[in-house]
Structure 1
Amino acid sequence: MEADGWEWLVAPIQKLISWSASAAIVFGGVVPYIPQYRDIKRTQNTEGFSTYVCLVLLVANILRILFWLGRHFESPLLLQSIIMISTMLLMLKLCTEVRVTNELNIKRRSFSAADSKDEEIKTPPKRSFLDFDLNYFWHWSKFADYVQCVLAFTGVTGYITYLFLDSIIFVETLGFLAVFIEAMQGIPQLYRNYQNRSTEGMRVMDIYLENHVIVK
Protein backbone atom coordinates (compact mmCIF):
# COMPACT_ATOMS: atom_id res chain seq x y z
CA MET A 1 0.00 0.00 0.00
CA GLU A 2 2.85 2.35 0.91
CA ALA A 3 4.61 1.54 -2.36
CA ASP A 4 1.50 2.45 -4.30
CA GLY A 5 1.40 5.77 -2.50
CA TRP A 6 4.78 6.75 -3.96
CA GLU A 7 3.79 6.06 -7.56
CA TRP A 8 2.65 9.67 -8.05
CA LEU A 9 6.24 10.76 -7.35
CA VAL A 10 8.21 7.93 -8.94
CA ALA A 11 6.52 8.14 -12.35
CA PRO A 12 7.31 11.85 -12.95
CA ILE A 13 10.90 11.34 -11.80
CA GLN A 14 11.33 8.44 -14.22
CA LYS A 15 9.96 10.58 -17.06
CA LEU A 16 12.25 13.45 -16.10
CA ILE A 17 15.28 11.14 -16.12
CA SER A 18 14.23 9.69 -19.47
CA TRP A 19 13.76 13.14 -21.01
CA SER A 20 17.08 14.33 -19.60
CA ALA A 21 18.88 11.33 -21.05
CA SER A 22 17.24 11.89 -24.42
CA ALA A 23 18.19 15.58 -24.36
CA ALA A 24 21.80 14.64 -23.55
CA ILE A 25 21.85 12.28 -26.53
CA VAL A 26 20.28 14.81 -28.89
CA PHE A 27 22.33 17.86 -27.92
CA GLY A 28 25.43 16.32 -26.34
CA GLY A 29 27.22 15.91 -29.66
CA VAL A 30 27.09 19.62 -30.52
CA VAL A 31 28.18 20.91 -27.10
CA PRO A 32 31.94 20.93 -27.94
CA TYR A 33 31.34 23.10 -31.00
CA ILE A 34 29.47 25.89 -29.22
CA PRO A 35 32.60 27.42 -27.60
CA GLN A 36 34.54 26.71 -30.80
CA TYR A 37 31.97 28.67 -32.81
CA ARG A 38 32.08 31.55 -30.33
CA ASP A 39 35.90 31.66 -30.38
CA ILE A 40 36.05 31.78 -34.18
CA LYS A 41 33.42 34.52 -34.29
CA ARG A 42 35.21 36.51 -31.58
CA THR A 43 38.75 36.20 -32.94
CA GLN A 44 37.81 36.10 -36.65
CA ASN A 45 40.44 33.39 -37.05
CA THR A 46 39.89 29.84 -38.32
CA GLU A 47 43.50 28.64 -38.26
CA GLY A 48 42.96 26.47 -35.20
CA PHE A 49 39.97 24.60 -36.61
CA SER A 50 39.92 22.15 -39.50
CA THR A 51 36.78 22.32 -41.64
CA TYR A 52 37.43 18.71 -42.63
CA VAL A 53 36.02 17.83 -39.21
CA CYS A 54 32.73 19.20 -40.52
CA LEU A 55 33.08 17.08 -43.65
CA VAL A 56 33.65 13.90 -41.64
CA LEU A 57 30.69 14.54 -39.35
CA LEU A 58 28.40 15.52 -42.21
CA VAL A 59 29.16 12.31 -44.11
CA ALA A 60 28.86 10.16 -40.98
CA ASN A 61 25.51 11.60 -39.91
CA ILE A 62 24.02 11.53 -43.41
CA LEU A 63 24.93 7.85 -43.62
CA ARG A 64 23.43 7.26 -40.18
CA ILE A 65 20.12 8.81 -41.28
CA LEU A 66 20.14 6.58 -44.38
CA PHE A 67 20.87 3.61 -42.13
CA TRP A 68 17.78 4.55 -40.11
CA LEU A 69 15.67 4.15 -43.26
CA GLY A 70 16.66 0.48 -43.42
CA ARG A 71 16.85 -0.24 -39.72
CA HIS A 72 15.01 2.05 -37.33
CA PHE A 73 16.82 2.96 -34.12
CA GLU A 74 15.99 5.29 -31.24
CA SER A 75 14.49 8.65 -32.22
CA PRO A 76 16.94 10.69 -30.06
CA LEU A 77 19.84 9.34 -32.11
CA LEU A 78 18.07 10.32 -35.31
CA LEU A 79 17.46 13.82 -33.96
CA GLN A 80 21.10 13.98 -32.89
CA SER A 81 22.19 13.39 -36.48
CA ILE A 82 19.85 16.09 -37.80
CA ILE A 83 21.07 18.63 -35.25
CA MET A 84 24.72 17.70 -35.87
CA ILE A 85 24.29 18.26 -39.61
CA SER A 86 22.75 21.67 -38.93
CA THR A 87 25.58 22.54 -36.54
CA MET A 88 28.28 21.57 -39.01
CA LEU A 89 26.65 23.66 -41.72
CA LEU A 90 26.63 26.65 -39.35
CA MET A 91 30.31 26.06 -38.59
CA LEU A 92 31.11 25.93 -42.30
CA LYS A 93 29.15 29.11 -42.95
CA LEU A 94 31.07 30.99 -40.27
CA CYS A 95 34.48 29.61 -41.30
CA THR A 96 33.86 30.47 -44.95
CA GLU A 97 32.81 34.02 -44.15
CA VAL A 98 35.80 34.56 -41.85
CA ARG A 99 38.29 33.07 -44.32
CA VAL A 100 37.02 35.15 -47.25
CA THR A 101 36.98 38.32 -45.13
CA ASN A 102 40.55 37.73 -43.96
CA GLU A 103 41.74 37.18 -47.53
CA LEU A 104 40.13 40.44 -48.64
CA ASN A 105 41.63 42.34 -45.71
CA ILE A 106 45.12 41.08 -46.56
CA LYS A 107 44.71 42.23 -50.15
CA ARG A 108 43.44 45.62 -49.04
CA ARG A 109 46.43 46.16 -46.78
CA SER A 110 48.81 45.22 -49.57
CA PHE A 111 47.12 47.63 -51.98
CA SER A 112 47.07 50.55 -49.54
CA ALA A 113 50.77 50.09 -48.82
CA ALA A 114 51.76 50.02 -52.48
CA ASP A 115 53.72 52.94 -53.90
CA SER A 116 52.90 52.27 -57.51
CA LYS A 117 49.53 53.38 -58.85
CA ASP A 118 49.87 50.91 -61.67
CA GLU A 119 49.83 47.93 -59.34
CA GLU A 120 46.71 45.91 -59.87
CA ILE A 121 44.61 44.50 -57.10
CA LYS A 122 45.25 40.80 -57.02
CA THR A 123 42.42 38.87 -55.47
CA PRO A 124 42.52 35.14 -54.82
CA PRO A 125 40.65 33.12 -57.46
CA LYS A 126 37.17 32.10 -56.47
CA ARG A 127 36.82 28.38 -56.02
CA SER A 128 33.55 26.62 -56.66
CA PHE A 129 32.12 23.17 -56.05
CA LEU A 130 31.60 22.92 -59.82
CA ASP A 131 35.33 23.42 -60.53
CA PHE A 132 35.97 19.73 -59.80
CA ASP A 133 39.54 20.57 -58.82
CA LEU A 134 40.57 18.10 -56.12
CA ASN A 135 43.37 20.40 -54.99
CA TYR A 136 40.77 22.89 -53.79
CA PHE A 137 38.14 20.43 -52.62
CA TRP A 138 36.41 21.69 -49.47
CA HIS A 139 38.20 25.06 -49.79
CA TRP A 140 35.50 26.89 -51.70
CA SER A 141 34.77 30.61 -51.61
CA LYS A 142 31.04 30.46 -50.95
CA PHE A 143 28.96 28.63 -48.38
CA ALA A 144 26.48 27.74 -51.14
CA ASP A 145 29.11 25.46 -52.69
CA TYR A 146 29.32 23.43 -49.48
CA VAL A 147 25.54 23.12 -49.42
CA GLN A 148 25.55 21.94 -53.05
CA CYS A 149 28.17 19.32 -52.23
CA VAL A 150 26.21 18.05 -49.23
CA LEU A 151 22.99 17.91 -51.26
CA ALA A 152 24.74 16.11 -54.13
CA PHE A 153 26.24 13.54 -51.75
CA THR A 154 22.88 13.07 -50.01
CA GLY A 155 21.08 12.67 -53.32
CA VAL A 156 23.50 10.08 -54.72
CA THR A 157 23.78 8.03 -51.53
CA GLY A 158 20.04 8.35 -50.93
CA TYR A 159 19.24 6.99 -54.39
CA ILE A 160 21.68 4.10 -53.95
CA THR A 161 20.13 3.37 -50.55
CA TYR A 162 16.67 3.37 -52.14
CA LEU A 163 17.82 0.78 -54.69
CA PHE A 164 19.42 -1.54 -52.12
CA LEU A 165 17.20 -0.87 -49.11
CA ASP A 166 16.04 -4.49 -49.04
CA SER A 167 19.61 -5.76 -48.74
CA ILE A 168 20.54 -6.47 -45.14
CA ILE A 169 24.23 -6.49 -46.02
CA PHE A 170 24.00 -3.04 -47.61
CA VAL A 171 22.05 -1.56 -44.69
CA GLU A 172 24.49 -2.97 -42.13
CA THR A 173 27.38 -1.66 -44.20
CA LEU A 174 25.83 1.81 -44.04
CA GLY A 175 25.67 1.56 -40.26
CA PHE A 176 29.28 0.40 -40.04
CA LEU A 177 30.52 3.19 -42.31
CA ALA A 178 28.60 5.80 -40.30
CA VAL A 179 30.22 4.68 -37.04
CA PHE A 180 33.67 4.17 -38.57
CA ILE A 181 33.78 7.55 -40.32
CA GLU A 182 32.53 9.35 -37.22
CA ALA A 183 35.30 7.72 -35.20
CA MET A 184 37.79 9.39 -37.58
CA GLN A 185 36.61 12.92 -36.76
CA GLY A 186 39.74 13.72 -34.77
CA ILE A 187 42.19 12.94 -37.60
CA PRO A 188 41.63 16.15 -39.64
CA GLN A 189 42.17 18.27 -36.52
CA LEU A 190 45.34 16.37 -35.62
CA TYR A 191 46.65 16.93 -39.13
CA ARG A 192 45.83 20.65 -38.95
CA ASN A 193 47.71 20.88 -35.64
CA TYR A 194 50.66 19.06 -37.19
CA GLN A 195 50.71 21.51 -40.11
CA ASN A 196 50.49 24.52 -37.82
CA ARG A 197 52.93 23.02 -35.31
CA SER A 198 50.51 24.37 -32.74
CA THR A 199 47.32 23.57 -30.88
CA GLU A 200 46.27 27.22 -30.79
CA GLY A 201 42.55 27.55 -31.33
CA MET A 202 41.73 24.20 -29.74
CA ARG A 203 40.15 23.88 -26.33
CA VAL A 204 41.08 21.14 -23.88
CA MET A 205 37.48 21.10 -22.63
CA ASP A 206 36.27 20.38 -26.17
CA ILE A 207 38.39 17.24 -26.31
CA TYR A 208 36.97 16.12 -22.97
CA LEU A 209 33.40 16.76 -24.09
CA GLU A 210 33.85 14.93 -27.39
CA ASN A 211 34.93 11.82 -25.51
CA HIS A 212 32.52 11.95 -22.56
CA VAL A 213 29.40 13.94 -23.38
CA ILE A 214 28.43 12.27 -26.66
CA VAL A 215 26.14 9.40 -25.79
CA LYS A 216 25.43 6.79 -28.42
Structure 2
Amino acid sequence: MGFIGDLAAVGMAVGPPLIYVDQVRKILKARDSSGFSIDICAVVIIANITRCFFYLGHRFETSLIVQSILLITSQLFLLSLCIHNRPTRSSQERIDNEQQSFASRMLKQRPFNFWQWDRLGSYLEFLAGFIVVMVIIHFALGWSSSVVESLGLIALGLESTLPIPQLLSNYRRRSTEGFSDLVLAGWLGGDIFKTGFYLARHSPMQFTICGAITVLLDLCVLAQRLIYRDRAPQNLPEDEQIIGAPIDHEHELALHSPYGDMDPEDDSRQRTS
Protein backbone atom coordinates (compact mmCIF):
# COMPACT_ATOMS: atom_id res chain seq x y z
CA MET A 1 0.00 0.00 0.00
CA GLY A 2 2.93 2.31 0.73
CA PHE A 3 4.35 1.86 -2.76
CA ILE A 4 0.97 2.49 -4.37
CA GLY A 5 0.53 5.59 -2.25
CA ASP A 6 3.95 6.90 -3.26
CA LEU A 7 3.19 6.19 -6.90
CA ALA A 8 -0.10 8.07 -6.61
CA ALA A 9 1.72 11.00 -5.02
CA VAL A 10 4.17 11.14 -7.92
CA GLY A 11 1.25 11.02 -10.34
CA MET A 12 -0.41 13.88 -8.50
CA ALA A 13 2.76 15.96 -8.73
CA VAL A 14 3.68 15.49 -12.39
CA GLY A 15 0.37 14.48 -13.98
CA PRO A 16 -1.44 17.84 -14.18
CA PRO A 17 1.46 19.72 -15.83
CA LEU A 18 1.88 16.94 -18.42
CA ILE A 19 -1.78 17.28 -19.43
CA TYR A 20 -0.92 20.40 -21.43
CA VAL A 21 1.79 18.81 -23.58
CA ASP A 22 -0.68 17.99 -26.35
CA GLN A 23 -2.08 21.53 -26.24
CA VAL A 24 1.44 22.85 -26.77
CA ARG A 25 1.81 20.49 -29.73
CA LYS A 26 -1.46 21.68 -31.30
CA ILE A 27 -0.53 25.35 -30.92
CA LEU A 28 2.92 24.82 -32.42
CA LYS A 29 1.51 22.79 -35.29
CA ALA A 30 -1.23 25.28 -36.20
CA ARG A 31 0.69 28.38 -35.08
CA ASP A 32 -2.63 29.50 -33.66
CA SER A 33 -3.64 29.66 -30.00
CA SER A 34 -7.18 30.95 -30.55
CA GLY A 35 -8.76 27.61 -29.62
CA PHE A 36 -7.21 27.68 -26.15
CA SER A 37 -8.40 30.26 -23.63
CA ILE A 38 -5.43 32.20 -22.30
CA ASP A 39 -7.46 32.85 -19.14
CA ILE A 40 -6.79 29.24 -18.17
CA CYS A 41 -3.17 30.24 -17.62
CA ALA A 42 -4.32 33.07 -15.35
CA VAL A 43 -6.49 30.78 -13.25
CA VAL A 44 -3.82 28.10 -12.88
CA ILE A 45 -0.94 30.46 -12.10
CA ILE A 46 -2.80 32.69 -9.64
CA ALA A 47 -4.47 29.75 -7.90
CA ASN A 48 -1.21 27.88 -7.45
CA ILE A 49 0.73 30.91 -6.24
CA THR A 50 -1.99 31.35 -3.62
CA ARG A 51 -1.80 27.65 -2.78
CA CYS A 52 1.94 27.98 -2.15
CA PHE A 53 1.27 30.64 0.48
CA PHE A 54 -1.51 28.50 1.93
CA TYR A 55 1.09 25.74 2.31
CA LEU A 56 3.30 28.04 4.40
CA GLY A 57 0.52 28.38 6.97
CA HIS A 58 -1.09 24.96 6.67
CA ARG A 59 1.16 22.09 5.67
CA PHE A 60 -0.40 19.49 3.39
CA GLU A 61 0.80 16.79 1.00
CA THR A 62 4.28 17.55 -0.37
CA SER A 63 3.20 16.20 -3.76
CA LEU A 64 0.59 18.96 -3.99
CA ILE A 65 3.08 21.77 -3.43
CA VAL A 66 5.42 20.18 -6.00
CA GLN A 67 2.43 20.03 -8.35
CA SER A 68 1.83 23.75 -7.81
CA ILE A 69 5.42 24.67 -8.64
CA LEU A 70 5.38 22.54 -11.79
CA LEU A 71 2.02 23.96 -12.87
CA ILE A 72 3.20 27.55 -12.45
CA THR A 73 6.28 26.82 -14.53
CA SER A 74 4.43 24.97 -17.28
CA GLN A 75 1.66 27.57 -17.51
CA LEU A 76 4.16 30.40 -17.85
CA PHE A 77 5.63 28.55 -20.82
CA LEU A 78 2.17 27.95 -22.29
CA LEU A 79 1.27 31.60 -21.73
CA SER A 80 4.35 32.69 -23.65
CA LEU A 81 3.45 30.30 -26.45
CA CYS A 82 -0.12 31.61 -26.65
CA ILE A 83 1.05 35.22 -26.83
CA HIS A 84 3.46 34.49 -29.68
CA ASN A 85 0.86 32.50 -31.62
CA ARG A 86 -2.15 34.74 -31.43
CA PRO A 87 -4.11 34.90 -34.70
CA THR A 88 -3.35 37.86 -36.93
CA ARG A 89 -6.17 40.36 -37.11
CA SER A 90 -7.25 41.44 -40.56
CA SER A 91 -6.73 45.00 -41.71
CA GLN A 92 -10.50 45.52 -41.96
CA GLU A 93 -10.97 44.41 -38.35
CA ARG A 94 -8.38 46.91 -37.17
CA ILE A 95 -10.04 49.71 -39.11
CA ASP A 96 -13.47 48.79 -37.75
CA ASN A 97 -12.03 48.78 -34.23
CA GLU A 98 -10.52 52.23 -34.75
CA GLN A 99 -13.87 53.57 -35.94
CA GLN A 100 -15.75 52.30 -32.89
CA SER A 101 -16.71 54.87 -30.30
CA PHE A 102 -14.66 55.14 -27.14
CA ALA A 103 -17.65 54.03 -25.04
CA SER A 104 -18.18 50.97 -27.22
CA ARG A 105 -14.55 49.92 -26.87
CA MET A 106 -14.62 50.42 -23.12
CA LEU A 107 -17.66 48.17 -22.76
CA LYS A 108 -15.83 45.36 -24.56
CA GLN A 109 -12.55 45.75 -22.68
CA ARG A 110 -11.73 44.45 -19.24
CA PRO A 111 -10.62 46.86 -16.53
CA PHE A 112 -6.99 47.76 -17.25
CA ASN A 113 -7.21 45.32 -20.16
CA PHE A 114 -6.55 42.59 -17.59
CA TRP A 115 -4.81 39.48 -18.94
CA GLN A 116 -5.19 40.68 -22.52
CA TRP A 117 -1.86 42.42 -22.79
CA ASP A 118 0.40 42.13 -25.81
CA ARG A 119 3.72 41.63 -24.03
CA LEU A 120 4.77 38.74 -21.81
CA GLY A 121 6.52 41.28 -19.60
CA SER A 122 3.17 42.81 -18.63
CA TYR A 123 1.95 39.45 -17.35
CA LEU A 124 5.17 38.89 -15.41
CA GLU A 125 4.93 42.35 -13.86
CA PHE A 126 1.40 41.64 -12.67
CA LEU A 127 2.42 38.27 -11.22
CA ALA A 128 5.41 39.84 -9.46
CA GLY A 129 3.11 42.42 -7.89
CA PHE A 130 0.67 39.70 -6.87
CA ILE A 131 3.46 37.74 -5.17
CA VAL A 132 4.56 40.87 -3.28
CA VAL A 133 1.00 41.33 -2.00
CA MET A 134 0.86 37.69 -0.91
CA VAL A 135 4.20 38.04 0.91
CA ILE A 136 2.88 41.07 2.79
CA ILE A 137 -0.29 39.19 3.76
CA HIS A 138 1.76 36.19 4.89
CA PHE A 139 4.05 38.17 7.18
CA ALA A 140 1.35 40.54 8.45
CA LEU A 141 -1.51 38.08 8.94
CA GLY A 142 0.04 34.64 8.59
CA TRP A 143 -0.42 34.02 12.31
CA SER A 144 -4.22 34.02 11.87
CA SER A 145 -5.64 30.59 11.14
CA SER A 146 -8.75 32.14 9.58
CA VAL A 147 -6.61 34.10 7.10
CA VAL A 148 -4.60 31.00 6.25
CA GLU A 149 -7.72 28.91 5.72
CA SER A 150 -9.18 31.69 3.60
CA LEU A 151 -6.11 31.54 1.36
CA GLY A 152 -6.71 27.83 0.94
CA LEU A 153 -10.33 28.41 0.06
CA ILE A 154 -9.42 31.13 -2.44
CA ALA A 155 -6.73 28.98 -4.05
CA LEU A 156 -8.95 25.95 -4.42
CA GLY A 157 -11.95 28.06 -5.37
CA LEU A 158 -10.00 29.61 -8.22
CA GLU A 159 -8.72 26.23 -9.31
CA SER A 160 -12.24 24.84 -9.39
CA THR A 161 -13.18 27.51 -11.96
CA LEU A 162 -10.44 26.35 -14.33
CA PRO A 163 -12.79 25.00 -17.05
CA ILE A 164 -14.97 28.15 -17.07
CA PRO A 165 -12.76 30.25 -19.41
CA GLN A 166 -12.71 27.39 -21.92
CA LEU A 167 -16.47 26.94 -21.54
CA LEU A 168 -17.01 30.61 -22.40
CA SER A 169 -14.52 30.54 -25.25
CA ASN A 170 -16.15 27.46 -26.78
CA TYR A 171 -19.59 29.04 -26.45
CA ARG A 172 -18.54 32.31 -28.10
CA ARG A 173 -16.87 30.49 -30.97
CA ARG A 174 -19.54 27.76 -31.17
CA SER A 175 -16.63 25.40 -31.60
CA THR A 176 -14.01 23.44 -29.69
CA GLU A 177 -11.58 23.51 -32.61
CA GLY A 178 -8.02 24.10 -31.43
CA PHE A 179 -8.66 22.78 -27.93
CA SER A 180 -6.89 19.52 -27.20
CA ASP A 181 -9.05 16.47 -26.52
CA LEU A 182 -6.19 15.09 -24.43
CA VAL A 183 -6.31 18.17 -22.22
CA LEU A 184 -10.04 17.62 -21.71
CA ALA A 185 -9.49 13.94 -20.97
CA GLY A 186 -6.67 14.86 -18.60
CA TRP A 187 -8.87 17.40 -16.84
CA LEU A 188 -11.74 14.99 -16.33
CA GLY A 189 -9.68 11.94 -15.43
CA GLY A 190 -7.25 13.94 -13.33
CA ASP A 191 -9.95 15.77 -11.40
CA ILE A 192 -11.79 12.55 -10.63
CA PHE A 193 -8.52 10.97 -9.50
CA LYS A 194 -7.40 13.88 -7.36
CA THR A 195 -10.80 14.24 -5.69
CA GLY A 196 -10.54 10.61 -4.65
CA PHE A 197 -6.93 11.24 -3.61
CA TYR A 198 -8.00 14.12 -1.39
CA LEU A 199 -10.60 11.94 0.28
CA ALA A 200 -8.19 9.05 0.80
CA ARG A 201 -5.43 11.26 2.21
CA HIS A 202 -7.79 13.30 4.41
CA SER A 203 -6.63 16.52 2.77
CA PRO A 204 -8.23 19.81 3.90
CA MET A 205 -11.93 19.97 3.04
CA GLN A 206 -11.31 22.84 0.59
CA PHE A 207 -9.50 20.41 -1.71
CA THR A 208 -12.33 17.87 -1.79
CA ILE A 209 -15.17 20.34 -2.33
CA CYS A 210 -13.41 22.26 -5.07
CA GLY A 211 -12.30 19.04 -6.74
CA ALA A 212 -15.92 17.90 -7.01
CA ILE A 213 -16.98 21.26 -8.49
CA THR A 214 -14.23 21.04 -11.08
CA VAL A 215 -15.39 17.58 -12.15
CA LEU A 216 -18.87 18.98 -12.85
CA LEU A 217 -17.42 21.80 -14.95
CA ASP A 218 -15.23 19.32 -16.84
CA LEU A 219 -18.38 17.43 -17.76
CA CYS A 220 -19.85 20.66 -19.15
CA VAL A 221 -16.82 21.10 -21.42
CA LEU A 222 -17.19 17.47 -22.47
CA ALA A 223 -20.83 18.16 -23.37
CA GLN A 224 -19.69 21.09 -25.54
CA ARG A 225 -17.19 18.84 -27.27
CA LEU A 226 -19.94 16.37 -28.12
CA ILE A 227 -22.35 19.10 -29.27
CA TYR A 228 -19.93 21.13 -31.37
CA ARG A 229 -17.78 18.18 -32.49
CA ASP A 230 -15.44 19.39 -35.26
CA ARG A 231 -17.53 22.43 -36.16
CA ALA A 232 -15.42 25.35 -37.40
CA PRO A 233 -15.53 28.58 -35.37
CA GLN A 234 -18.42 30.84 -36.36
CA ASN A 235 -18.40 34.50 -37.28
CA LEU A 236 -14.71 34.63 -38.14
CA PRO A 237 -13.68 36.71 -41.15
CA GLU A 238 -12.20 34.60 -43.90
CA ASP A 239 -8.77 36.20 -43.70
CA GLU A 240 -8.61 35.57 -39.95
CA GLN A 241 -8.83 31.84 -40.55
CA ILE A 242 -5.45 31.91 -42.30
CA ILE A 243 -2.98 32.59 -39.55
CA GLY A 244 -0.18 34.88 -40.57
CA ALA A 245 -1.83 35.75 -43.88
CA PRO A 246 -0.24 38.86 -45.42
CA ILE A 247 -2.21 42.06 -45.14
CA ASP A 248 -3.33 43.71 -48.35
CA HIS A 249 -1.78 47.11 -47.70
CA GLU A 250 -3.18 48.63 -50.91
CA HIS A 251 -6.67 47.63 -49.84
CA GLU A 252 -6.02 49.00 -46.37
CA LEU A 253 -4.93 52.37 -47.82
CA ALA A 254 -7.98 52.39 -50.06
CA LEU A 255 -10.24 51.90 -47.06
CA HIS A 256 -8.66 54.90 -45.34
CA SER A 257 -8.77 57.00 -48.52
CA PRO A 258 -11.75 59.34 -49.08
CA TYR A 259 -11.99 57.89 -52.60
CA GLY A 260 -12.34 54.31 -51.30
CA ASP A 261 -11.40 51.90 -54.09
CA MET A 262 -11.96 54.54 -56.81
CA ASP A 263 -9.05 55.99 -58.70
CA PRO A 264 -8.72 59.74 -57.83
CA GLU A 265 -8.21 60.59 -61.54
CA ASP A 266 -11.50 58.87 -62.41
CA ASP A 267 -13.21 60.85 -59.69
CA SER A 268 -11.85 64.16 -61.01
CA ARG A 269 -12.99 63.31 -64.56
CA GLN A 270 -16.48 62.55 -63.26
CA ARG A 271 -16.62 65.91 -61.51
CA THR A 272 -15.52 67.90 -64.61
CA SER A 273 -18.03 66.10 -66.77
Q: Normalising by structure 2, report the TM-score.
A: 0.61
Which residue of the partner structure matches residue 98 of structure 1?
85
Q: Report Cα offsets for 1:14-41 as digits up to 9, x if no partner.
A: 54x3442222011111122110011001
Q: 2:13, 2:66 within 8 Å by CA — same for their partners in 1?
A: yes
Which residue of the partner structure matches residue 151 of structure 1?
128
Which residue of the partner structure matches residue 117 of structure 1?
none
- SS of the equivalent of 2:147 reads helix
User: Equivalents in 1 of 2:58, 2:138: separation in Å?
Assistant: 12
The structure 2 residue matched to 1:164, chosen from 116, 128, 141, is 141
Residue 137 in structure 1 maps to residue 122 in structure 2:
no
Q: Report Cα offsets for 1:151-199 as digits up to 9, x if no partner.
A: 1111112211221111010000111111111000010111111111111
The structure 2 residue matched to 1:67, chosen from 31, 37, 54, is 54
Higher relative contact order, structure no. (Cα contacts within 8 Å, ≥ 6 residues apart): 1
Which amino acid in 1 is paired with 2:63?
A: P
Q: How far did residue 201 of structure 1 move?
A: 1.2
Which amino acid in 1 is paired with 2:150?
A: T
**Structure 1 range deviating more: 206-215 or 172-181:** 206-215
User: Equivalents in 1 of 2:113, 2:174: separation in Å?
Assistant: 22
Q: Report Cα offsets for 1:27-70 as digits up to 9, x if no partner.
A: 11112211001100110111110010110111110111000110
Q: How far did residue 82 of structure 1 move?
A: 0.3
Which residue of the partner structure matches residue 10 of structure 1?
none
The structure 2 residue matched to 1:198, chosen from 175, 193, 199, is 175
Which residue of the partner structure matches residue 217 of structure 2?
none
User: Equivalents in 1 of 2:189, 2:165: separation in Å?
Assistant: 20
Q: Normalising by structure 1, report the TM-score.
A: 0.76
The runs of at least 4 consecutive aligned structure 1 residues that moved more than 4 Å come to: none
User: Equivalents in 1 of 2:122, 2:128: separation in Å?
Assistant: 10
Structure 2: stretches of 5+ with no match in the other structure: 99-109, 199-273
Residue 22 in structure 1 maps to residue 9 in structure 2:
yes
- SS of the equivalent of 1:103 reads coil
- SS of the equivalent of 1:73 reads coil
Structure 1: stretches of 5+ with no match in the other structure: 1-12, 111-121, 126-132
User: Equivalents in 1 of 2:9, 2:150: separation in Å?
Assistant: 26
User: Equivalents in 2 of 1:32, 1:190: separation in Å?
Assistant: 18
User: Equivalents in 2 of 1:68, 1:173: separation in Å?
Assistant: 12
The structure 2 residue matched to 1:173, chosen from 144, 150, 156, is 150
Residue 50 in structure 1 maps to residue 37 in structure 2:
yes
Higher Cα radius of gyration: 2
- SS of the equivalent of 2:85 reads helix
Percent same amino acid among aligned pairs?
31
User: Equivalents in 2 of 1:88, 1:146: separation in Å?
Assistant: 12
Which residue of the partner structure matches residue 210 of structure 1?
187
User: Equivalents in 1 of 2:36, 2:15: separation in Å?
Assistant: 20
Which amino acid in 2 is paired with 1:28?
A: G
Q: Report Cα offsets for 1:126-170 as digits up to 9, x if no partner.
A: xxxxxxx72622111111111111111111122112211110100
Residue 38 in structure 1 maps to residue 25 in structure 2:
yes
User: Equivalents in 2 of 1:180, 1:211: separation in Å?
Assistant: 17
Which residue of the partner structure matches residue 65 of structure 2?
78
